[in-house]
Amino acid sequence: MNNLFSRLKTLIAVLAAVLCILPLNDLSAQDKIVMPGENGKKAAIDFEYFPSRQHAFVWRNWSVADKHRLAEVMATSVENIEKLAVSMGLSRKQEIEPEWATTYGYITVLRRNWHLLPYDQLTLLLGMGREELKYRLIEDDFLYEKLGSVKPQCEPLRYVEPDEDMQRRTEQFARDVAPLIKEAYDLDDKRFGFMREFDKVKKSKKRADSQSQHEGFELRMIFPYFADYGDPLLDEELKSYPEELFRRLSEAGVNGVWLHSVLRMMVLPEGGFPGDEKALDRIEGLKRLVARAGKYGVKIYLYLNEPRALHKDYFDGNAAREALAGPEFQGLRSFCTSKPEVLSWISNSMENLFSEVEGLGGVFTITASENYTSCASRPYAHSHCPLCKDRPYTDIIVDVNTAIEQGVHRGNPDAKVIVWDWGWPDDKCEEIISRLPKSCWFMAVSEWGKPIERGGVKSHIGEYSLSAVGPGPRALRNWEFARKAGLKTLAKVQVNATWEMAAVPSVPVLDLVAQHAENLSGQDVNGVMLSWSLGGYPSENLKLFQSFRRGDTADDAVVRLAHSEYGDKAAAKVREAWRVCSEGFTNFPFQMRMLYSGPQHWGPSNPFYTRPTGYPATFVVNIPYDDVYYWKTIYPMEVWLDLMDKSADGFGEGAKLLREALQEVDCKHRKALEMELGRMLAVYNHLKSGAEQGRFFDARNRYLKATSDEERAECKATMRKALEVNKQIIADHLQIVVRDSSIGYESSSQYFYVPADLVEAYASVCYAERWLNDLK
């Protein structure tokens, strides 16, 4: 018996050791699920300004994850986690907003640990299984692409007792962050605090049904500012869509709200077609949402990008599914829409949905881009599909939109079906538009194709833009095709924010917004879609669109808005501030790569790296790294820097005027003006910091290749000045961010940064200054 007891004790000890080495996920069937980029060999970034990787992990998660969870991830004690935190100047006490552990905050948590943890520890930190995280990486608005389409190689992170060298580095780090650390954790407005604005339903200033008699655009649709892009309809409380948000959007002139949808998640499985066991629960959630919005005269619309391709494993070995499949592309296979049963499934699914959810407003479609859908959505698939390769592209696009329209209108004849030309080749548009069902509405991005010249560099607008006022030639041409075909028309615009600047709720360039509204009012456009996933805040920019009437001039509308929002005493200076911001923003170095990969969204939070990271800036607004030559795109380096400076300077001049206005504003409007000043300064800081980062990384790269002392000296001087300027920007920006939780937030990316990240960036500048001093 004693021998048996001894052997059991030994076995338990071995199992305990294994549990300390392997995360719990590895011990389940979940380890069979292969994650995107898993087992990659690209080394993670060594954040050299931190004492060690374990210090970086504790620092980056101290404000977003409970220390008990951090200890579990590192397989150590809470006391050891606290010891690491305190050694860097952090308080033992944590205040964690609950949203970080939900779908509102998980992307920010995931991103800040992407270079620190392997998947097994990431899932443990996030409280997600591998299957759920894999789904979200693929389906949550291109999340894996936003993370760079590569998972850096990370060894499991385990606690190591700091040695003498690590202690010395920790002491230096603590000295670096000391000037800012208290302010970063003493927040006037905790993260996600902006959501509290919508907790209570206030009294409306006007009746919701008054919007039905709007004198301007018939349809005014937007995406809710902080909606969960993943699966919000399963939330019993529909927290992504609070009632107060609908009230305020209605007051700002909005009468439609759209949400992302995946058709297979809204239906039950049928034959070889996919479905989801929670589909009926989502439909019930959609019914509640339609009812909530309807109280304020707002209709709900679904974004459709269908039929979504699935992983090839879904089809393999199943005859019913194989019979529906199209070509394989990047591990996915489509549902081939040249097969009548696929179009029938789409149409019948839409009919059932619109029959079941009474009052659902409609849909808008993207059929040639975004996800892999029909064979026409990917040139490779179109050319390799036995059924589609000999069919015209236009036939396939028309078929999909027709199937959707027929199903929607069988279910609800009053619903709107909006067909968007996103991704259609220019030479195919006229034929597609002419063949669409006559009940469809047609939508085009207003500013697309508009020619611009900035810094002597000529180009065209090929994405959303505030800095270039539409409409452009493509939209004008395609709207005319639609009118000839008997279709109503919509302009896709952004009036709050674009990928030029996504880190504030609305960019204060009211003159540009007003000019766009005036231009559209003369185009006989029936409606506007006011935002993509960014730009849904119920702002004064939206109010301007609501107040604009045919016959108004842009200047009249802006002056009227300044008086109504900030009172007669401050109105003149506010109006002039908007003008100089608008004028400055027309210098923005617009180009697709800059929009999606530039430093302007992370702004002062982007660390300074003394060594090239080897990582390209991620596509679709996430991590800029130090990829300065990708940021500048088509512009010569000096031209790009000059344009960034000029863009920033407009907001700097505007902020000076708002400071003067604060000396004159009445008490009623003071708080709103202070908020406007903070956001104007935030845009300045983001743009100016981006320029200084560009100067530093360009000079660093040139220094590493320099062959003369003179060139090295010039590079060092440039780097030193950039560090000096950015150090002050970080300190100034932190004062703004702690008072306004909306800054740095965008719904599909969540928080680009939190206050602690600004302090981390400050530490990176301090480290870079010492590195620079040591250079010969």
- Burial call 160-187: b when 16+ CB within 10 Å, e when fewer: eebeeebeebbeebbebbeebbebbbeb
Using the predicted structure, report yes or no on whether residue 12 has a pLDDT greater than 80.
no
Q: How far apart are CA 370 and CA 279, in angstroms?
A: 23
Amino acid 18: pLDDT: 37
Q: Position 433: which residue type?
A: I
Question: Over 383-415, what HEC string results?
Answer: HHCCCCCCCCHHHHHHHHHHHHHHHHHHHCCCC
| 87-96 pLDDT per residue, tens | 999 999 999 9
Amino acid 216: pLDDT: 72
CA distances to 145, 158, 170, 227 from 65, in Å:
25, 17, 21, 22
Mean pLDDT, the chain, whole residue set = 93
Beta bridge partners of 416: 362
Using the predicted structure, report yes or no on whether residue 750 has a pLDDT greater than 60.
yes
Establish how many alpha carbons lie within 13 A of residue 342's alpha carbon, considering only the half-sphere containing its beta carbon.
Answer: 25
Mean pLDDT, range 264-292, rounded to an integer: 97
H/E element, 365: strand 362-365
User: Among 199, 200, 196, 174, which Cα is nearest to 187's?
Assistant: 196
User: How confident is residue 108, by pLDDT bands cut at 50, 70 and 90?
Assistant: very high
Please work out, in degrees rounded to the nearest 5, the angle formed at the alpha carbon of residue 199 by the alpha carbons of 193 and 205.
Answer: 115
| 460-476 pLDDT per residue, tens | 999 999 999 999 999 99
Mean pLDDT, range 432-443, rounded to an integer: 98
Amino acid 13: pLDDT: 36
Peptide bond into 156 cis (omega under 30): no
Q: How many residues are recorded in the chain?
A: 776
The helix, strand and coil proportions of the chain, stated in percent and rounded to the nearest 5, come to 55, 10, 40
Pairing of strands 325-329, 332-335: antiparallel
Establish how many alpha carbons lie within 13 A of residue 589's alpha carbon, considering only the half-sphere containing its beta carbon.
Answer: 32
Mean pLDDT, range 701-705, rounded to an integer: 97
Amino acid 32: pLDDT: 73
Return the minimum-mean-pLDDT range out of 47-61, 193-207, 275-289.
Answer: 193-207
CB of 228 closer than 8 Å to CB of 536: no
Pairing of strands 750-751, 299-304: unpaired
Amino acid 31: pLDDT: 58
Mean pLDDT, range 108-132, rounded to an integer: 97
Beta strands in 403-505 (DSSP E): 416-420, 441-445, 451-454, 457-460, 488-492
User: How confident is residue 295, by pLDDT bands cut at 50, 70 and 90?
Assistant: very high
Amino acid 11: pLDDT: 37
* Separation of CA 296 from chain center: 27
List own/partner pairs for 33-36 with CB under 8 A and 24 or more apart. Answer: 33/130, 33/131, 33/134, 35/119, 35/130, 35/133, 35/134, 35/137, 35/151, 36/134, 36/137, 36/138, 36/144, 36/149, 36/151
| 660-683 pLDDT per residue, tens | 999 999 999 999 999 999 999 999
| 519-570 pLDDT per residue, tens | 998 888 999 999 998 999 999 999 888 777 767 899 999 999 999 999 999 9
Amino acid 231: pLDDT: 85
* Residue keyed to tokens 């935030």: 682
Amino acid 22: pLDDT: 41
Looking at the chain, the domain(s) classified CATH 3.20.20.80 span 214-567
Return the minimum-mean-pLDDT range out of 274-278, 413-417, 520-524, 712-716.
Answer: 520-524
Phi first, then psi, for residue 686 (nearest 5°) are: -65, -45
Mean pLDDT, range 127-150, rounded to an integer: 91
Amino acid 435: pLDDT: 98
Using the predicted structure, report yes or no on whether residue 274 has a pLDDT greater than 60.
yes
Choices 3.40.50.2300, 3.40.50.150, 3.30.360.10, 3.20.20.80: CATH for 214-567: 3.20.20.80
Return the minimum-mean-pLDDT range out of 161-175, 536-550, 583-597, 707-721.
Answer: 536-550
53-61 and 164-185 helices cross at what angle (nearest 10)?
10
- Burial call 415-424: b when 16+ CB within 10 Å, e when fewer: bbbbbbbbeb
Amino acid 427: pLDDT: 97
Q: How far apart are CA 234 and CA 281, in angstroms?
A: 6
User: How confident is residue 209, by pLDDT bands cut at 50, 70 and 90?
Assistant: very low
Using the predicted structure, report yes or no on whether residue 709 has a pLDDT greater than 70.
yes
Amino acid 551: pLDDT: 75
CB of 416 closer than 8 Å to CB of 355: no
Mean pLDDT, range 389-409, rounded to an integer: 98
Amino acid 602: pLDDT: 98
pTM of the predicted protein model: 0.92
The SS3 of residue 453 is strand
Which residues, 6+ apart, have CB-to-CB distance to 335 below 8 Å? 273, 307, 309, 324, 325, 326, 342, 345, 374
Amino acid 206: pLDDT: 55
Using the predicted structure, report yes or no on whether residue 17 has a pLDDT greater than 60.
no
Using the predicted structure, report yes or no on whether residue 73 has a pLDDT greater than 50.
yes
Amino acid 215: pLDDT: 59
The SS3 of residue 556 is helix
Mean pLDDT, range 368-377, rounded to an integer: 94
Using the predicted structure, report yes or no on whether residue 626 has a pLDDT greater than 80.
yes
Return the minimum-mean-pLDDT range out of 387-401, 533-547, 672-686, 719-733.
Answer: 533-547
User: What is the DSSP-derived secondary structure letter of residue 153?
Assistant: B
Q: How far apart are CA 102 and CA 769, in angstroms?
A: 38
Amino acid 70: pLDDT: 99
